[in-house]
A and B are shown apart, each in its own frame.
Chain A
Amino acid sequence: MTNRYQKLVSAGPAKEVAKRLGLPRPAELRRYRPSEPLVPGPVLVLGSGASAEPVSEQLLAWGLDVYRHQPQGRRLGAVIVAYDDVSHPGDLADAALELGPAVRQLAPSGRVITVSRPARAGDAPAVAAARRGVEGLLRSLARELRGGATGNGILLAEGVGAGAPSALAALRFLLSGRSAYVDGQFLSVGSENGAAPEDWDRPLAGRVAVVTGAARGIGAAIARVLARDGAKIVAVDVPAAGGALTSVANEVRGTALQLDITRADAGHLILEHALERHGGLDIVVHNAGITRDKLLVNMDEARWKSVLAVNIESQLRMNEAFLGAGRDGLRIVSLASTSGIAGNRGQTNYAASKAGVMGMVEASAADFAAIGGGINAVAPGFIETDMTAKVPVPTRAVARLLMPSLMQGGLPVDVAEAIAFLASDAAAGINGETLRVCGQSLIGR
């Protein structure tokens, strides 16, 4: 799916004009298709960190061509930089200066991935400076990449090796087309929990997953992607969206549960349906959400309260019900928004709810870890759906084309892929985190 502007400027004479005027030319992103190669070329591993070794081994095990020095005349599928040993800003130089020429050789939709450790309050100042330095370097490099290539990092908590299941799963996610619209982001791996799936093309086989707001937009895409990855889907939406919900449920061969998630007993009804009809509940995706935009000076009670009720209060209540039911291993993924990070004019209510989601996720991590599960959020940027079709055209054009490094809006499937990854057992070492799927945008939403 491409928008008209994108079609116009990526072909024919318009392409030349756009080039001369310096207009952005969005690239077609590489998106995941089962059984396609993980990356579009060989992988170069740079840096002297200890992670270089296990990472290279895993890449070989995945059947990839791996080089420790740039191969002559070959387009690279990805460059991985092992920065997990840096202890002084001066340590960044060697790999950075090797990375530059390698980026020139990067194939379209190639990947740059750093592996490093997060700076912590107790670190020596030089160590923290070096570690944070990696983040600055990577985020800027991501803005320099073209042709649908992305740059992201993996942050390994102290004591967690690069061979940890979630570190490798994160690596695979970031290399693959599943992360097409994830750019300039860091995924934090906090523990050695998790296990690789038997089949990387069906990582959710045998799982029962509930998706709220599944009748359309991002929710429908989540239902499709989780089903493709092997999960049995319970598709939830309000009765007023029943017709569309039916189509989605029938397409993914799941069941439809018509339910307003703001009901006090929503969590209970979801549990009951999942257990009675599918014999389990392994994944919940809190996707249902609404916007009721107004400047705060014009905000009325109904707009404020309904957004908070649907987007965050319902989730808090449902999570309590799920925790209370002791569903061992339950994994939750909740929809935040870049509005909740950067703020967005006219969205005080929405941003409060979405920042609230991130707060909830951080604060609930320990409780979910205690039952062997986890909770994370995904913060989409500008995604082309019915919800964003309501955004005024000029705002939409700017949001879509100018601000994100990838110079285009994302597709619902891009958000869905990130959610499927975080919902998988292989991601069990990632907990309490928010992953942005925004094409590295500057502004909110």
Chain B
Amino acid sequence: MASSAPSAPQHPTTGARTVRDAVVIGGNRIPFARANGKYADASNQDMLTAALDGLVARFGLQGERIGAVAAGAVLKHSRDFNLVREAVLGTALDPATPAYDVQMACATGMEAIGSLANKIKLGQLDSAIGGGVDTTSDAPIAVSEGLRRVLLEFSRARSGKQRLAALSKFRPKDLAPNAPGTGEPRTGLSMGEHQALTTAAWGITREAQDELALASHQNLAAAYDRHFFDDLITEYRGLSRDNNLRADTTLEKLGTLKPVFGKDLGSKATMTAGNSTPLTDGASAVLLGSEEYARQHDLPMLANFVDFEAGAVDFVHGREGLLMAPAYAVPRLLERNGLTLQDFDFYEIHEAFAGTVLSTLAAWEDEDFCRNKLGLDAALGPIDRSRLNVAGSSLAAGHPFAATGGRIVATLAKLLHEKGSGRGLISVCAAGGQGVVAILEAR
């Protein structure tokens, strides 16, 4: 918890043990690649292993036993049941490093990192690595439900007759495979279609979305140019920058793109491929530790992982937008830490869609929403937009679902360390109407 927050609750104690700081030491990711491109034949395990090995090389962790490695993937092959442990075994880390998989849609990385931070705070771990990976290129493809039933029955059959009977249930249409979609199982709507409803409900304009997308590209490009990512990214398969980045894009170019979501809104449709994140492949990892661990190993301390909070909304019955959970989680997190929305030097709001970020900000500025939905006395108010996603975000970098949390935590921790003081707020929305938000504090 924030040691500097005056009204923060006292650290709970267990016996003689006090809750201690969990420190972000550094991070590493591979550049994010647009799906079916540079990493088309890289598996989740390959990419996570590369991200971890880069982290090991950066911090000299070869042969080290890390307390725990937690990460995950949103799209997973069934063969990857122990994805993270398998990845760890392929790295230069001590094979005695425990590892486990976490899964919470696009908030997977945040949940993994936040939970590890808690374990460090409690003294259960001294060091940990959290992160995530996703590929939509090497995605698991399942056989159709019909074929699956046939195959299961066939394998249970004892006699030739039973086997024949099982096979006779096979229909040619069963051959069509099931590729995983980003559609919501309960509504059948894709994430983009859900967001299009929210974007329209909050009256977010096309121009505002394109401006946010432009800023994302410009900020990411500028961060690369000032070598900001030299110690956050490791080249992979010939790629040393996120290849979704369009450093030279303009409002005019973004303005020419045709809407792809909410098309039934006709001329009011605003969401294009330019202000929505593309499908992306990539992996990220963040090294966490206690202060003592960092000192003992002569490692840098970029920021404290102060606190985090999950949220969820009822989007199924249309009571709230699919990606609005962070709007609800943030006020709870602020309250617990005695902070206001304006008490931050950096805001990292994951750009699933430009509309997501802008709807969330609009909601926090809306008196009615804050009183009636959040139960507050007044609006949370506006944020200083010059502090938003200052090193670029998902619209420019891309969004390999589970890898985004690690990208954001490492980026924000470094931004805070560079500044030398202050706090940052992270907000990541996720499928299923969920989200995770977090606070980091400079060291």
Q: Which A residues contact B (CB, under 8 angstroms)?
A: 235, 239-243, 245-247, 249-250, 253-260, 263, 276-279
Whether A246 pairs with B60 at a CB distance below 8 angstroms is no
Whether B235 pairs with A250 at a CB distance below 8 angstroms is no
Smallest CB separation, B301 vs chain A (Å): 11
**Closest chain B residue to A273 by CB distance?**
B231
8 A-B pairs with C-beta separation under 8 A: A239-B235, A243-B234, A245-B57, A245-B234, A256-B57, A257-B231, A259-B230, A279-B298
Whether B234 pairs with A246 at a CB distance below 8 angstroms is yes
Smallest CB separation, A148 vs chain B (Å): 36
**Closest chain A residue to B300 by CB distance?**
A276
Whether B230 pairs with A254 at a CB distance below 8 angstroms is no
Q: How far is the CA of A108 from the CA of B300 in the complex (A)?
A: 52
Q: Which B residues contact A (CB, under 8 angstroms)?
A: 50, 53-54, 56-60, 62-63, 92, 227, 229-231, 233-237, 240, 298-300
Q: Name the one of B54, B231, B237, B240 contacting A246, with C-beta atoms under 8 angstroms.
A: B54
Q: What 9 new A-B contacts, CB under 8 Å, besides A263-B227, A276-B298? A: A239-B240, A242-B54, A242-B234, A245-B234, A246-B53, A246-B56, A250-B57, A250-B92, A254-B60
User: Which A residues are in CB contact (< 8 Å) with B63?
Assistant: 253
Whether A250 pairs with B298 at a CB distance below 8 angstroms is no
Q: How far is the CA of A241 from the CA of B237 in the complex (A)?
A: 10
Q: How far is the CA of A8 from the CA of B59 in the complex (A)?
A: 45
Whether A242 pairs with B62 at a CB distance below 8 angstroms is no
User: Which A residues are in CB contact (< 8 Å) with B50?
Assistant: 243, 246
Whether B53 pairs with A255 at a CB distance below 8 angstroms is no
Smallest CB separation, A232 vs chain B (Å): 8
Whether A242 pairs with B233 at a CB distance below 8 angstroms is yes
Smallest CB separation, A103 vs chain B (Å): 47
| Max chain A Cβ within 10 angstroms of own Cβ: one of B230, B237, B299 | B230
Q: How far is the CA of A279 from the CA of B59 in the complex (A)?
A: 14
Smallest CB separation, B333 vs chain A (Å): 33
Q: How far is the CA of A143 from the CA of B60 in the complex (A)?
A: 46
User: Which B residues are in CB contact (< 8 Å) with A258?
Assistant: 230-231, 234
User: Which B residues are in CB contact (< 8 Å) with A279?
Assistant: 298
Whether B298 pairs with A278 at a CB distance below 8 angstroms is yes
Q: How far is the CA of A247 from the CA of B227 in the complex (A)?
A: 22
Smallest CB separation, B115 vs chain A (Å): 27
User: Which B residues are in CB contact (< 8 Å) with A250?
Assistant: 53, 56-57, 62, 92
Smallest CB separation, B283 vs chain A (Å): 13
Smallest CB separation, B95 vs chain A (Å): 14
Whether B237 pairs with A243 at a CB distance below 8 angstroms is yes
User: Which B residues are in CB contact (< 8 Å) with A241?
Assistant: 235
**Closest chain A residue to B224 by CB distance?**
A239
Nearest 10 CB-CB pairings of A with B = A242-B235, A256-B57, A249-B57, A242-B234, A250-B92, A246-B57, A255-B60, A253-B62, A240-B240, A258-B230
User: Which B residues are in CB contact (< 8 Å) with A235?
Assistant: 57
Q: How far is the CA of A259 from the CA of B63 in the complex (A)?
A: 25
| Max chain B Cβ within 10 angstroms of own Cβ: one of A256, A257, A277 | A256
**Closest chain A residue to B297 by CB distance?**
A277
Q: How far is the CA of A257 from the CA of B26 in the complex (A)?
A: 13
| Max chain B Cβ within 10 angstroms of own Cβ: one of A257, A258, A259 | A258
Q: How far is the CA of A249 from the CA of B55 in the complex (A)?
A: 11
Smallest CB separation, B360 vs chain A (Å): 33
Whether A243 pairs with B235 at a CB distance below 8 angstroms is yes
**Closest chain B residue to A277 by CB distance?**
B298
**Closest chain B residue to A263 by CB distance?**
B227
Smallest CB separation, A77 vs chain B (Å): 38
**Closest chain B residue to A252 by CB distance?**
B62
Smallest CB separation, A238 vs chain B (Å): 8
Q: How far is the CA of A66 from the CA of B59 in the complex (A)?
A: 49
User: Which A residues are in CB contact (< 8 Å) with B58?
Assistant: 255-256
Smallest CB separation, B289 vs chain A (Å): 14
User: Which A residues are in CB contact (< 8 Å) with B300?
Assistant: 276
Smallest CB separation, B137 vs chain A (Å): 18
Smallest CB separation, A378 vs chain B (Å): 26
Smallest CB separation, A276 vs chain B (Å): 6
**Closest chain A residue to B93 by CB distance?**
A250
Q: How far is the CA of A260 from the CA of B62 in the complex (A)?
A: 24
User: Which A residues are in CB contact (< 8 Å) with B298?
Assistant: 276-279
Smallest CB separation, A280 vs chain B (Å): 11
Smallest CB separation, B245 vs chain A (Å): 14
Smallest CB separation, A145 vs chain B (Å): 42
Smallest CB separation, B13 vs chain A (Å): 33
Q: Name the one of B57, B235, B236 contacting A255, with C-beta atoms under 8 angstroms.
A: B57
User: Which A residues are in CB contact (< 8 Å) with B235?
Assistant: 239-243
Whether B59 pairs with A242 at a CB distance below 8 angstroms is no
Smallest CB separation, B405 vs chain A (Å): 22
User: Which A residues are in CB contact (< 8 Å) with B227?
Assistant: 260, 263
Q: How far is the CA of A253 from the CA of B53 in the complex (A)?
A: 12
Smallest CB separation, A144 vs chain B (Å): 47
Q: How far is the CA of A235 from the CA of B235 in the complex (A)?
A: 15
Q: How far is the CA of A255 from the CA of B59 in the complex (A)?
A: 6
User: Which B residues are in CB contact (< 8 Å) with A245?
Assistant: 57, 234
Smallest CB separation, B54 vs chain A (Å): 5
User: Which A residues are in CB contact (< 8 Å) with B53?
Assistant: 246-247, 250
**Closest chain B residue to A248 by CB distance?**
B57
Q: How far is the CA of A253 from the CA of B62 in the complex (A)?
A: 6
User: Which A residues are in CB contact (< 8 Å) with B233?
Assistant: 239, 242
Smallest CB separation, A47 vs chain B (Å): 49
Smallest CB separation, A415 vs chain B (Å): 23
User: Which A residues are in CB contact (< 8 Å) with B240?
Assistant: 239-240, 242
